[in-house]
A = this chain, B = another copy of it.
Amino acid sequence: MLRSCVFLLLLPICFFNTVSAGKVLAWPTDASHFLNLKIILEELAHKGHEVTLLAHSAIMIMGADNISSFKFENFSVPFPKEKNEKFLEEFLAFWIYDVPQMSYWKFYEETKKFVSEQLKTDKLVCDGVVKNELLLKKLKAEKFDVLVSDPLIPCGELIAELLGLPFVYSFRFSMGNSMERLCGQLPAPFSFVPGSMAELTDKLTFLERIKNMNFYIFQDILFHLIFGQFDAYFSEVLGRPTTLCEIMGKAEIWLIRTYWDFEYPRPLLPNFEFVGGLHCKPPKPLPEDMEKIAQSSGEHGIVVFSLGSMVKNLTDERSNVIASALSQLPQKVIWRYSGKRPATLGENTVLYDWIPQNDLLGHPKTKAFITHGGTNGIYEAIYHGVPMVGIPLFADQPDNIIHMKTKGMAVMLDINQMQSQDLLDAVNTVINDPSYKENAMRISQIHHDQPVKPLDRAVFWIEFVMRHKGAKHLRPASHDLTWYQYHCLDVIGFLLVCLLMVLFITIKIFSFCCRKCRPAKRKQKKH
C-alpha cells in the first residue's frame, strides 16, 4: 500500500511537464457560461500564468470584475448593459413559456428573430476588438501564448486568427451539436447519438431515429441560416474569403463541459476532452443560519432548491404551486428565490436570494436537489451523489434532466403543467426509493474515478497548446474534406457509375449477340 502511494506520488513528477509562466488571453461569454471558464482561468492564474480578459463595457453577470488574479483589457461597445439584460429577460420568458407549445417552423422563425438580434449585438461587440486597431496593436505587442474562448458567441476565434494565436475552446454544446459536428468534425451517427436538445436518449426506436435525423438536419439548416451570417463578417475582417466554420475548425482543443457520467457514450475525436464538473469542489462549512436549519432537520434532512442564477421570478400561480408542495415535505427546504414571497410558503421552507449551492449539496443532511437542470448544478449533484427532481425551464435543461433520468438519478417535471402533488410525489420518490440514491452514488463514483481530475485535464491541454504552440497532431484530416468527400459519396457515386456502365455494356453485348444469333437460326430453319 505504501509502495503504491509512493508510486502515485512520483507519477506526476515524471510526466507532468510544467510550463514556464505564459500569457493567456480569454474571450469570455457572459451569464452562467462564464462560471466554468472562470474556474479554468483562475487555475491558470494560480499556476503562474498571466491571464488577460477581454471585457466589453456591457458585459453581464461575469462575477469576474472582482477577481484580482486577472488582468482586464476593457473596450467599449455602443449600447448599454441594460439592453443586454432586457434582451436576456425576454429571451428567457420566450423559452420558458412560449417554446414548449411551438412547432419546429414557428420555433425557427422566433429563434431566428432572437438570434439575429443577438448576432447583431455580437458583431458590435466583436467590432470593439477586431476593428479597433489600437487595441489589436496592443494585444499583438503582448505576445500571448494562447487564446481561450467559449464559441457560443463567435469572435474569440477571429481575434486568435488576427493575432496569430493558437486557441482552445471551452464549450458546453451548440444546438444539435452543429458547431462541434460541422466545424469541429465531431462524428455523430444519427442512429445512437441524440442531437443536443433533441430530448432523446441513446436508445432510439425507429420513429425516434427519424426524429433525431430530422432534428439534426433542421439544426444544420438553422446553423447555416443563422451563423452563416458570420461568414461575410469573418471574410471582411480577415480580408480573404473564409467562413466561421473554417476558422472555428482551427481550434486546437475543444474542452467539452460534460463527461461520461452525464453523456451517453458516443464517438469523439482526440482533440475533444470531456471535462465536465471541473468547477466542483469538496463542500465548505455552511453559513451559520443554514447550518442551523440543516441540523434542526433531524433524520429527514434537507432539500435544496434552485432554478439557477438567471431565473429570478415565477408567476404567482407557479410559485404557490411549488411552495404548497414544499410545505408538505417532512424535510426542511432551502429555496433560492428572489421573487415575491408565495402565500402558501410553509414553515419548513426558507427563501434565500443566493445559496452556496455546492456546499449545500455536499452537506451530509442533504437528501435531494430540486433543480432547473443547468449543467453546473447537475454536476454539483453528481459530484456529491445527490438525487434530483428536475424542473427544466429552457435551452439544454430538459435534455440535461433526461440524461439524469436515464441514469436513474432524477425525476422530471414540467414547470407549466405540474401540480403541487406532482412535485411532492417526485421529491418523495427520489428520497424514499433507494434506487435513486444508489444510482446517484454510482454516477458520483464514476465522476470521481478518473485518471486525472477534469480541471487538471483542462489546464493540462491549454498548457500543452502553450508549450507546443498548438496540438496539430490531434487535428483530424477530415477538416480538409468536403461533406460529400467525408461520406465517400463521390467514391460511391463513381463506383456506382462504373457498375452501371459494366451492366450497360454487358446488356448491350448480350442483346447484340442475341440479335446476331436469331437470324442465323431463322436461316437454318429456312434451309
Interface of A toward B, CB cutoff 8 Å: 1, 3-5, 7-9, 11-18, 47-48, 187, 189-192, 202-204, 206, 209-210, 213, 260-261, 264-271, 274, 445-446, 448-453, 456-457, 460, 464, 467-468, 473-478, 480-481, 485-488, 490-491, 494-495
Contact A267–B265 (Cβ < 8 Å)? no
Known: A187-B189, A446-B468. 18 other contacts (CB 8 A): A1-B18, A3-B48, A8-B16, A9-B12, A11-B16, A17-B448, A192-B486, A202-B476, A204-B477, A206-B494, A265-B270, A265-B473, A266-B269, A267-B267, A268-B269, A451-B451, A451-B452, A452-B452
Copies of the polypeptide in the assembly: 2
User: In the complex, what's the smallest C-beta–C-beta distance from A192 to chain B, in angstroms?
Assistant: 4
CA distance A494 to B265 in the complex (A): 27
Contact B18–A4 (Cβ < 8 Å)? yes
Q: Which one, B8, B203, B488, contacts A12 given CB within 8 A?
A: B8
Q: Which one, B202, B267, B446, contacts A268 given CB within 8 A?
A: B267
Contact A268–B268 (Cβ < 8 Å)? yes
User: In the complex, what's the smallest C-beta–C-beta distance from A429 to chain B, in angstroms?
Assistant: 23
User: In the complex, what's the smallest C-beta–C-beta distance from A502 to chain B, in angstroms?
Assistant: 15
Contact B16–A451 (Cβ < 8 Å)? yes
Chain B residue numbers with a CB within 8 Å of A213 are 488, 491, 495
4 tightest CB-CB pairs across the interface, nearest first?
A: A202-B477, A8-B12, A192-B477, A265-B476
CA distance A337 to B355 in the complex (A): 72
Central interface residue in A209, A260, A477, by most chain B CB within 10 Å:
A477
CA distance A446 to B17 in the complex (A): 11
Q: Which residue of B lies closest to A15 (CB)?
A: B453
Contact A265–B18 (Cβ < 8 Å)? no
CA distance A527 to B143 in the complex (A): 89
User: In the complex, what's the smallest C-beta–C-beta distance from A184 to chain B, in angstroms?
Assistant: 12
CA distance A202 to B204 in the complex (A): 32
User: Can you list 7 contacts pairing A with B, beta carbon distance less than 8 Å?
Assistant: A1-B48, A11-B16, A203-B477, A204-B477, A213-B495, A267-B267, A452-B452
User: In the complex, what's the smallest C-beta–C-beta distance from A95 to chain B, in angstroms?
Assistant: 29
> A192-B486, A452-B15, A481-B191 in contact; A260/B270 too (CB < 8 A)?
yes
Q: Which one, B16, B450, B491, contacts A209 given CB within 8 A?
A: B491
Q: Which residue of B lies closest to A478 (CB)?
A: B192
Q: Which one, B8, B264, B456, contacts A477 given CB within 8 A?
A: B264
Q: Which one, B17, B271, B478, contacts A191 given CB within 8 A?
A: B478
CA distance A178 to B500 in the complex (A): 29
Contact A206–B452 (Cβ < 8 Å)? no
Contact B488–A468 (Cβ < 8 Å)? no
Chain B residue numbers with a CB within 8 Å of A490 are 206, 209
Central interface residue in A203, A473, A474, by most chain B CB within 10 Å:
A473
Central interface residue in A8, A48, A453, A485, by most chain B CB within 10 Å:
A8
CA distance A206 to B485 in the complex (A): 9
User: In the complex, what's the smallest C-beta–C-beta distance from A179 to chain B, in angstroms?
Assistant: 17
CA distance A460 to B15 in the complex (A): 15
Chain B residue numbers with a CB within 8 Å of A456 are 11, 451
User: In the complex, what's the smallest C-beta–C-beta distance from A11 to chain B, in angstroms?
Assistant: 6
Central interface residue in A189, A260, A476, by most chain B CB within 10 Å:
A189
CA distance A449 to B192 in the complex (A): 34
> A452-B15, A453-B15 in contact; A474/B270 too (CB < 8 A)?
no
CA distance A446 to B465 in the complex (A): 11
Contact B474–A265 (Cβ < 8 Å)? yes
CA distance A18 to B7 in the complex (A): 11
Q: Which residue of B lies closest to A482 (CB)?
A: B191
User: In the complex, what's the smallest C-beta–C-beta distance from A384 to chain B, in angstroms?
Assistant: 15
CA distance A446 to B12 in the complex (A): 16
Q: Which residue of B lies closest to A454 (CB)?
A: B15
Contact B270–A269 (Cβ < 8 Å)? no
Chain B residue numbers with a CB within 8 Å of A478 are 189, 191-192
CA distance A18 to B16 in the complex (A): 20
User: In the complex, what's the smallest C-beta–C-beta distance from A257 to chain B, in angstroms?
Assistant: 16
CA distance A37 to B476 in the complex (A): 29
Q: Which residue of B lies closest to A457 (CB)?
A: B451
> A203-B477, A477-B265 in contact; A191/B270 too (CB < 8 A)?
no
Contact A203–B13 (Cβ < 8 Å)? no
Q: Which one, B1, B210, B445, B446, contacts A495 given CB within 8 A?
A: B210
Chain B residue numbers with a CB within 8 Å of A187 are 187, 189, 267
Q: Which one, B47, B267, B453, B480, contacts A11 given CB within 8 A?
A: B453
User: In the complex, what's the smallest C-beta–C-beta distance from A342 to chain B, in angstroms?
Assistant: 39
